[in-house]
A and B are shown apart, each in its own frame.
Chain A
């Protein structure tokens, strides 16, 4: 189950991702039409927020027209705009604030994992990962920190 992860320690809050997202989805520049948002909070916090593609998505559960569902083939949560009535119940249900209404068309929009923003982030703060990959990364980071200590106790050839 991959999702778009934004690293708050790398993010500088420039919001280039929002612009590219709206450009690629809507052919205009407008952060309010982007499928992800960067939240800036003082002091010094910048955090990109996008849909987590939940296994049991609350937005889908509360949708009165069944416009939102997990798409097993694409392995993500998708909105069927034809069914969406723009009631905004999904907006209330999402615990991350990661789904909202398009300012003009008034249909629910959210990250569709197109990945346009990922390589364009100037600081590499964005990635599409699964929980498994994320935890792997964390484990590897931890072990990398412990490596020098462990190497002191292991006999390996040194340069």
Chain B
């Protein structure tokens, strides 16, 4: 069961219109790709909220408005509460064909907007919350967020004699929203676009709150060439460092088991943010990965 939805999505069936175009994101931006693809699925009647972050900075440059559907910038902490209000407004107006979608970065989701998201899940708001996870506060110049992986160099977790990149673990947002009793949650990667499109379609039709966390590499912040975005997002999955899963009806589902993992050392060290990692550091990453996968393989459905 890989992100199945009622109507199959194919690259040919997507609408011709672009709903996020002319934005000023860096070349090769994974976040803008995640937004573009999701809106292709949710369509022209999407009502979009975007908090402070890259996508609002690059999408709303008055008078250049890159969203061609309704879109609004929310407060940093209030993506999910604004989405809740928009859903209520649409209900009051009798708009039944709209999709209420939010696009927040990892900082706006796991750190700053977590309380509002938890509240929306608690109220069973019929909203779709998409976290484009580029693993740091990239818009403000690459600071560490709660979703920055261990070892990653950021401007607030530098690499030197006393500090060797981010020290804490990456917050497990997928399990957090699942523990909140969300109707539907999924993880995706821009390196596996078909899987992502299917999950957006499924999430948009769920009766309740839906959350998708999509790995969206940031060439600028990760220190990779702009053409590497999708390849590195795919490689993260193949190395087992990013899990493609779903949570629905109270059950965890594993969408893709790579079996044997592609070597993590090469994947990590091609990224500027990880190039300082020693063999011991890489071994630790692999050990954590194997522990996580043991739990997943033991408990998740296939």
Are A and B part of the same complex? no
On A, residues with C-beta under 8 Å from B are: none
